[in-house]
Structure 1
Amino acid sequence: MRISPLVSQTFQRLAGIRALLELLDQALPESEWRESEALKQLADEQNWDFSDFDTESHILNERFRFWLPRYTAYSVIMLLHTVLETQLISAAEAVHARKRLPFRPSDLRGRGVETSALYLTRAGVYDVRNDSAWQSIGDLRDLRHLIVHRAGTKG
């Protein structure tokens, strides 16, 4: 049995994203605990008022409970979209090379996921847009767009 290098590469990239998530899942709570302990020690050493310690604790909490999870999610969404887009482009280019079609993926207007999907359809390989996952692909694209162009917010 021969496994396509494109398929193998896709799974390797997804495994890398999963490994990153597992690493962050372990590292962030440990890092938060260390930072919290260091803050407590500093407050004790410098005899801070409770209000000063409480303010710094809220800042630390916001960093670890709001910003880091948000930016982690943004990063994973960007990575997933990048893998999807690059692998679809590679698939379209591979179809062009294998079938020796007179038109290239780059000949189609637009770019990215939609253009690669359109190329695969026009090449008679597979209509990705009729796949049940196409809605999820569109959702991922929309999330990526919100992150890149609107700092993760709608409106």
Structure 2
Amino acid sequence: MLNNGNSAAGKGPHGAAGVILALALLLLAATSARAEGPQYCTGTFSNMRYVQAGNDLIGMEVRIVLGERGFKAMIQSALGTPGDPVLVDAQIKGQAISFDVPAGRNERPGRFQGTITDQGISGALTYENGGQIPLNLPRRTSYWDDQAPFGGS
């Protein structure tokens, strides 16, 4: 196709200035959406760590994944030794997250309610007896990603 001089490539609001304006608006919209909340609600959130002085593993790890029927939270806590991980339904709406924590060897039953950000999950675990503990679990790789030797010991 020949350019007859009336093309929009360099004239009017649809020309180069229009393209630049459209790109600037797209960039602004993408930046604004990013500032509103975390990019992903899935991931690993953990404060689990090894304490050499007592030869203990302590902390909690939560991994949020998307399953066939909604979001799931894999929860594992450690009070000296790791408890078995459990999988529970997680309710996520915007940045708000909640899930039930069942009773286990290292945990009393309760409900976690908090928020998810790009930095982690923070909130409180409220036990059935009304007691409450604050939780701040940074977003990071799992403690187990590089820790367990072959043979499990």
TM-score between the two structures when normalised by the length of structure 2: 0.31
Q: Which one has the bigger strand percentage?
A: 2
Higher Cα radius of gyration = 2
Which protein has greater RCO, CA pairs closer than 8 Å, 6+ apart? 1
Name the structure where helix makes up a greater proportion of residues.
1
TM-score (ref. length: structure 1): 0.30
